[in-house]
Amino acid sequence: MFFDKQKVKHMIETLVKKAQQSTYEEAAAIIQAGGLVAFPTETVYGLGANALDKNAVESIFIAKGRPQDNPLIVHIYDKSQINSIAREVSQQAQALIDAFMPGAITIVLKKSDTIPYCVTAGLDSVGIRMPDKAEAREFLKYCGVPVAAPSANISTKISPTSADFVYRDMKGRIPLIIDGGSCEVGIESTVVDMTADKPVILRPGAITLDMIKDVLDSIESFKGKDVSKLPSPGMKYRHYAPQCETVIADTLDSALSYYDKAVKDGKNPVILCKTQNIALLENRNSINLGCNGTEVCKNIYQSLREGEEGFDLIICENLGQEGVYASVMNRIIKAAGGNFV
Ligand code: TXA
Ligand code: MG
């Protein structure tokens, strides 16, 4: 009988279990034994391993197909853990911690020796995040160790905001997914680098520049273009990429004309837009992103997934740069490979 040994070795049964005490116990046992568990957070689902176990951390990169030079975030359930993970916490960093942790923020600090370099991809800094979602905190508490976790998607794909989305990417690769329902925030945490003289937002998120400005003396968004000098290696990789062509329409008119031309060319397009604009599309295919920043943020990844599954062209409305829309647009621009029509 012919079979691919390599494949057989890697195919494992993936269970999806409701977030409850027995599941946390099982999950913690897997983490402590060096295995991987996907878990819900308020931003997106994470793919967790014991951050202090090099082999376990390496298996995250394998399961995701993630480039080795892209560092992982370390997740905690209690602020007291920060002292053993970071070498120093400046006054400004402490102000951020006090204002936004637990929550949708990752704070990059100088790392201590306890965190292996495979977590930080060789960097002397470490991203620390304390999720706010109760199921995440429970899971992390049961684990009792800092948990390294990227988003639980295959590298380059859209981050998962439900257990079902995790299952589709991670089936056969990991033993357990904790199902904690859908993620309330919907896009990944704001990453703030506090290791340099001036704090910098490396990745925008639901905690916006303006919110951070209220807390820090100075903060700026990363604007560099030279990818070889990027402070956050993740910035140079293709991300959030739907399986089908994806474009951003600068105006509603350009969305409609691009849509109508695509139909003439035999395509099956869909327009992603805010509730307020749905009626203007008449009977064209549409996905409703919601009527405000919070809703659009929560719905964007699921909508991109619906788009790639049901259609062969996604046309997304330009949402502008006001507040959290700037963070959502950051993801959409990457999903569209910067393609505006
Ligand atoms: O909301 C989130 O942050 C989710 C949930 C699961 O917590 N996690 C997440 O992880 O989005 P990931 O690995 O998909 O994205 C982490 C980002 C990457 O762009 C990475 O390059 C950056 O954070 N990063 C991590 N450690 C860093 C460090 N020491 N210095 C600079 N950037 C870092
Ligand atoms: Mg990710």
> Is the minimum distance from the CB of 152 to ligand 1 under 6 angstroms?
no
Q: Whose CA is nearest to atom 33 of ligand 1?
A: 232
Dihedrals phi, psi of 142, to nearest 5 degrees: -60, -35
Residue 339 to residue 249: CA distance in whole angstroms: 9
Burial 154-165 (b: 16+ CB within 10 A, else e): bbebbbbbbbeb
Dihedrals phi, psi of 60, to nearest 5 degrees: -65, -45
Residue 56 to residue 73: CA distance in whole angstroms: 14
Residue 246 to residue 264: CA distance in whole angstroms: 18
In the numeric block, the tokens 């033993």 are attached to 175
> Is the minimum distance from the CB of 269 to ligand 1 under 6 angstroms?
no
> Is the minimum distance from the CB of 126 to ligand 1 under 6 angstroms?
yes
Give the mutation target among 191, 230, 330 for probing the ligand 1 site: most ligand atoms within 8 A of CB: 191
Residue 216 to residue 170: CA distance in whole angstroms: 39
- Give me ligand 1 centre to Cα 156, in Å: 13
In the numeric block, the tokens 């599309």 are attached to 281
> What kind and span of H or E run contains 127?
strand 125-129
Q: What residue type is assigned to position 210 of the chain?
A: D
> What kind and span of H or E run contains 133?
none
Helix %, strand %, coil % of the chain (to 5): 40, 20, 45
The tens place of each residue's pLDDT in the chain, 341 residues long, gives 344 444 445 679 999 999 999 999 999 999 999 999 999 999 999 999 999 999 999 999 999 999 888 999 999 999 999 999 999 999 999 999 999 999 999 999 999 999 999 999 999 999 999 999 999 999 999 999 999 999 999 998 999 999 999 999 999 999 999 999 999 999 999 999 999 889 999 999 999 999 999 999 899 998 764 444 455 655 555 677 899 999 999 999 999 999 999 999 999 999 999 999 999 999 999 999 999 999 999 999 999 999 999 999 999 999 999 999 999 999 999 999 999 99
